[in-house]
Amino acid sequence: MSDVATPLNLLWLQSGGCGGCTLSLLNADCRNLVDTLRSFGINLLWHPSLSEQSADEARRIFEMCASGETRLDILCLEGAVLKGPFGSGGFHRTTGNESMMHLLERLAGVARHTVAVGSCAAFGGVTAAGINPADACGMQYDIDEQGGLLGEDYRAGDGLPVINIAGCPTHPNWVMETLVAIAQGEMYESNLDVYRRPRLYADHLVHHGCKRNEFYEFKASAHKPSDLGCLMEHMGCKGTQVHADCNIRLWNGEGSCTRGGYACIACTEPGFEEPGHAFGITPKVAGIPIGLPTDMPKAWFVALAALSKSATPRRVKENAVADHQVVVPANKRTRLK
């Protein structure tokens, strides 16, 4: 339980990533995130995009945290840990020639809460794709295996493992709400799912609230980008399997990936970066997608898909392969029952 009377010091560092989770965070739905964090007792000790301190001034902040002179309440890492080349961490050195990998180890050792922001920091993410040139890993995971930089047994000062706010990028409010929960002393292990993602967003599927649901129901599918139909059958969409609430809370006002006309590529899931097929093409066996909806028995899916395809209304069928509604919903001439 945190002491809300004393502000919690938050230190945010970046390593093997793109900075996109920070840029996403700047879109947070609040008057401004610094004031909002402060109102929950979080003091932004240093952030690479926002703080004044540069060079030696910034390094002194890191050292005071590592030595315990400044209490490090929340350590956030954005970006993967780069272990290469040959375990030296040399693909990312901080000034003073220390590897960022080593600095992170020192800071995680004193942090009361350790938070991996984004799929790179959590699991390795896109930085670990392909031949994984920089030998990237997550803070406490190598893709979907426990380990990573800190090892399976790591626990932060508060007793929790690394909290994985997975996503590529993270939704700004996933980060805000996780930090607020920590500040309020309301973040327990039971609030985290099997990959230690906060359940505040991970207990949903991307499919929930998808605008294309009527097309999904009838298996009326898009064939090319900009078609209005369901993206699951041909376009690589994994929204029925992926844990996140992107179509419930939406992004940048009224957006989401599926609303943007493209597949959910599972960016909150460990290993999404290497799906084993082209991202935009659904892998199938005998015409049936191999990635079936979560909790759906295969026989039922096949039977229902065949039935619903045969029952597809003309409106749904024609709109699915058009980039605008070519048939609008009919108006009934009687009062709706």
Nearer of residues 56 and 153 to other proteins, judged by Cβ: 56
Q: Does 49 bind other proteins (CB under 8 A)?
A: yes
Residues near 45 by beta carbon (within 8 Å), at least 6 away in sequence: 9, 10, 11, 61, 65, 70, 72
Q: Does 263 bind other proteins (CB under 8 A)?
A: yes
- Region from 188-196, 276-284, 295-303, 309-317 binding other proteins, contact rule CB under 8 A: 276-284
Q: Can you state the angle between helices 55-67 and 100-108, rounded to 10 degrees?
A: 40
Task: Decide if 134 contacts 127 (C-beta within 8 A).
Answer: yes
Q: Does 276 bind other proteins (CB under 8 A)?
A: no
Residues 224 to 243: which contact other proteins by CB under 8 A? 224-226, 228
| 226 backbone φψ class: left, alpha, beta (φ>0; ψ -120 to 50) | left
- Region from 57-65, 153-161, 181-189, 311-319 binding other proteins, contact rule CB under 8 A: 57-65
**In which residue are the tokens 């093409």 written?**
281
Dmax over CA atoms of the chain, in Å, equals 77
Nearer of residues 104 and 156 to other proteins, judged by Cβ: 104
Residues near 33 by beta carbon (within 8 Å), at least 6 away in sequence: 25, 26, 172, 176
**In which residue are the tokens 């607020």 written?**
180
Enter the tokens of residue 13.
């560092």
To other proteins, the closest distance from the beta carbon of 302 in angstroms equals 27
How far apart, in whole angstroms, are the C-alpha atoms of residue 334 and residue 267?
A: 46
Residues 188 to 217: which contact other proteins by CB under 8 A? none
How far apart, in whole angstroms, are the C-alpha atoms of residue 14 and residue 9?
A: 17
Task: Decide if 149 contacts 251 (C-beta within 8 A).
Answer: no
To other proteins, the closest distance from the beta carbon of 19 in angstroms equals 4
For other proteins, the binding residue among 2, 9, 24, 241 (CB under 8 A) is 24
Enter the tokens of residue 283.
């892998």
Residues 302 to 321: which contact other proteins by CB under 8 A? none
Residues 90 to 129: which contact other proteins by CB under 8 A? 90-96, 100, 126-127, 129
- Count other Cβ atoms within 10 Å, centred on residue 227: 21
For other proteins, the binding residue among 20, 41, 147, 313 (CB under 8 A) is 20
For other proteins, the binding residue among 50, 288, 290, 296 (CB under 8 A) is 50
For other proteins, the binding residue among 159, 185, 260, 329 (CB under 8 A) is 260
Question: Binding string to other proteins for residues 137 to 166, with x set by CB under 8 A, is what?
Answer: ------------------------------
To other proteins, the closest distance from the beta carbon of 179 in angstroms equals 16
- Count other Cβ atoms within 10 Å, centred on residue 263: 23
